[in-house]
């Protein structure tokens, strides 16, 4: 036991003396959280719009006021004719133009029907979509309230509610993904590189010729990273709670236990990579291409799995990150207990067994 501890201490020396490792361990998680939190966001805030009001009546004024007071939009251009619309979009001074038809209020009163024309800059398709749906939601809301006062029968009102994330906050989406990404990077990438480094520098030769068992070498290598990743999980949760106001609905203990399970899985993937490569660069590339990209793209982190082509969906299903993201979302956002995540937990356990068995079988007690 004592010689194992000596090994772990040595590993901590390596970590705390390598600036790059330290940066990846402690600075990257915070930077990533802040980046995803503030920069990568799907929310609309102060979108510039133009108003072309052919009617200039009470109703159109009220709707315009409502759009502005929602906080989503700022009116930067007031247009007077259709000809100006093109120019507005071309010099990118607005994202959307709202056109009210002539005699808007009159038509609404008389026919119960009036037309608004929404023209959006769809060179950025996602935000165009969002802007248009936000605008139409505000207009519909207004019309419905007016109609309610008028008490016209047979009104069908559609009311939607966004469960678990009422305000459609981006932070709800990126925290689970970012946490997954950071754990994968630290556990898999750093451990694989650190084991391969011993091979590359020739120190593995001495370690192998010593009484240390292969399992002790492996566990001694990954132990510090497991501890430090767990520290990171806590940092991320604190950041998301206090900086971004993301509450944890479910059991925090369960969340931490599941995180530990995922840390274990990522470590075993890292070990597996290290047993199959002999240079730090290859290990790094394999971790980057084989783990980081799938975690970002093929896990439901950013793009929903259901919308992908079938082949990519298969890839998502063998990607451990997919399951962990589901687990975090279920616990953090939906507040589900263990019964809500047992299937995913089982998959993670199975993957751990698979990778550890493969690594132990591939680990060489001798040189090649």
Partner 1 sequence: MNTVIVENIHKSYKKIVALEDITFSVDKGEIFGFIGPDGAGKTSLFRILVTLLLPDSGKATVMGLDVVKDYKKIRKMVGYMPGRFSLYQDLTVEENLTFFATIFSTTIQENYHLIKDIYSQIEPFKDRRAGALSGGMKQKLALSCALIHKPEVLFLDEPTTGVDAVSRKEFWEMLKSLRNAGITIVVSTPYMDEASLCDRVALIQNGSILKIDKPDLITSSFGKNILAIRSSNIHKLLNDLSNYPACDSVFPFGQYVHYTAKENRISKEELEKYLTALGHQQLEINPIEPNIEDCFMSLMNEAS
Q: Is 365 in the site for partner 1 (CB under 8 A)?
A: yes
* CB nearer partner 1, residue 15 or residue 139: 15
Stretch that binds partner 1, among 24-32, 208-216, 275-283, 354-362 (CB under 8 A): 208-216
DSSP letters for 226-276: HHHHHHHHHHHHHHHHHTS-----S-HHHHHHHHHHHHHHHHHHHHHHHHH
Q: Considering the complex, what minimum distance in angstroms separates the CB of residue 271 from partner 1?
A: 19
Q: How far apart are CA 289 and CA 4, in angstroms?
A: 33
Task: Indicate the residue among 206 and 349 with the shorter CB distance to partner 1.
Answer: 206
Interaction of residue 107 with partner 1, rule CB under 8 A: no
Q: What is the CA radius of gyration of the chain?
A: 28
Min dist CB 213 to partner 1, Å, is 8
Nearer to partner 1, 212 or 260 (CB): 212
For residue 359, what are the CA distances in angstroms to 6, 118, 345, 355, 362? 23, 58, 21, 6, 5
Nearest Cα neighbor of 100 from 78, 123, 70 is 78
Three-state DSSP state, 304: coil
Which residue in 81, 83, 202, 309 binds partner 1 (CB under 8 A)? 202
Asked if 226 interacts with partner 1 (CB under 8 A), we say: no
Smallest gap from residue 272 Cβ to partner 1 (A): 23
Considering only residues 153, 211, 304, 309, which one is a binding residue for partner 1 as defined by CB under 8 A? 211
**Residue 209 in contact with partner 1, rule: CB under 8 A:** yes
- Interatomic CA distance for residues 105 and 56, integer angstroms: 9
How many angstroms separate the CA atoms of 177 and 181, rounded? 6
Residue 19 touches partner 1, criterion: CB under 8 A = no
User: Are the CB atoms for 93 and 76 separated by under 8 Å?
Assistant: yes
- Alpha-carbon distances, residue 365 vs 17, 183, 245, 326 (angstroms): 28, 29, 50, 38
CB of 285 to partner 1, least distance (A): 23
* Cβ proximity to partner 1, 20 vs 45, nearer residue: 20
What is the C-alpha to C-alpha distance for residues 301 and 250, in angstroms, rounded to an integer?
20
| Nearest by Cα to 186 from 5, 22, 65, 13 | 22
5 binds partner 1 (CB under 8 A): yes
Q: Is 206 in the site for partner 1 (CB under 8 A)?
A: yes
The answer to the question of residue 43 lying near partner 1 (CB under 8 A) is no
Residue 61 or 197 having the CB closest to partner 1? 197
Show Cβ contacts of residue 117 under 8 Å, excluding neighbours closer than 6 positions: 98, 99, 100, 101
Q: CB nearer to partner 1: give 17 or 45.
A: 17
2 binds partner 1 (CB under 8 A): yes
Q: Which residue lies nearer to partner 1 by CB, 107 or 197?
A: 197
d(CA 258, CA 183): 12
Is residue 20 close enough to count as binding partner 1 by CB under 8 A?
A: no
Which of 92, 115, 201, 353 touches partner 1 (CB under 8 A)? Answer: 201
What backbone torsions phi and psi does residue 53 show, to the nearest 5 degrees? -110, 105
Q: How many residues bind to partner 1 according to rule CB under 8 A?
A: 25
Q: Binding to partner 1 by residue 278, rule CB under 8 A?
A: no
Contact of 333 with 169, CB cutoff 8 Å: no
Cα atoms in the 13 Å half-sphere on the side-chain side of 194: 30
C-alpha of 78 from chain center: 37
Interface mask (CB under 8 A) for partner 1, residues 231-270, using x and -?
----------------------------------------
DSSP assignment string, 109-133? HHHS---EEEEE-TTSHHHHHHHHH
Minimum distance from CB of 23 to partner 1 (Å)? Answer: 16
Q: How far is the CB of 331 from partner 1 (least distance, A)?
A: 39
- Return the residue of 112, 140, 210, 279 that touches partner 1, per CB under 8 A: 210
Binding site for partner 1 (CB under 8 A): 2-3, 5-7, 9-10, 13-14, 17-18, 201-203, 205-212, 365-367
């Amino acid at each position: 036991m004592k010689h194992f501890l000596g090994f772990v201490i040595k590993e901590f020396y390596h970590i705390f003396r390598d600036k790059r490792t330290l940066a990846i361990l402690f600075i990257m998680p915070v930077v990533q959280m802040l980046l995803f939190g503030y920069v990568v966001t799907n929310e609309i805030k102060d979108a510039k719009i133009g108003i072309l009001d052919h009617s200039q009546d009470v109703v159109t004024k009220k709707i315009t006021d409502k759009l502005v007071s929602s906080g989503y939009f700022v009116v930067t251009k007031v247009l007077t004719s259709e000809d100006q619309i093109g120019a507005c979009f071309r010099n990118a001074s607005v994202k959307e133009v709202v056109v009210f038809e002539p005699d808007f209020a009159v038509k609404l009163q008389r026919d119960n029907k009036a037309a608004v024309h929404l023209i959006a800059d769809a060179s950025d398709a996602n935000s165009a979509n969002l802007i248009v749906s936000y605008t139409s939601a505000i207009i519909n809301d207004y019309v419905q309230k007016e109609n309610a006062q008028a008490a016209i029968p047979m009104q069908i009102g559609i009311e939607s509610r966004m469960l678990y994330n009422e305000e459609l906050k981006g932070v709800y989406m990126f925290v689970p993904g970012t946490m997954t990404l950071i754990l994968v990077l630290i556990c898999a990438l750093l451990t694989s590189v650190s084991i391969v480094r011993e091979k590359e520098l020739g120190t593995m030769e001495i370690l192998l010729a010593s009484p240390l068992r292969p399992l002790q070498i492996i566990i001694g290598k990954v132990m510090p990273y497991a501890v430090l990743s767990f520290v990171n999980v806590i940092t991320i949760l604190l950041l998301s709670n206090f900086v971004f106001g993301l509450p944890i609905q479910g059991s925090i203990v369960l969340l931490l236990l599941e995180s530990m399970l995922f840390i274990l899985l990522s470590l075993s993937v890292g070990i597996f990579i290290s047993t199959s490569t002999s240079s730090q660069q290859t290990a790094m590339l394999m971790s980057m291409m084989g783990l980081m990209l799938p975690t970002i793209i093929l896990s439901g982190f950013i793009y929903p799995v259901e919308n992908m082509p079938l082949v990519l969906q298969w890839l998502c299903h063998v990607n451990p990150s997919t399951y962990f993201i589901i687990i975090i979302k279920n616990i953090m956002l939906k507040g589900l207990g263990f019964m809500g995540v047992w299937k995913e937990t089982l998959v993670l356990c199975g993957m751990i067994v698979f990778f550890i068995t493969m690594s132990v079988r591939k680990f060489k007690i001798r040189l090649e």
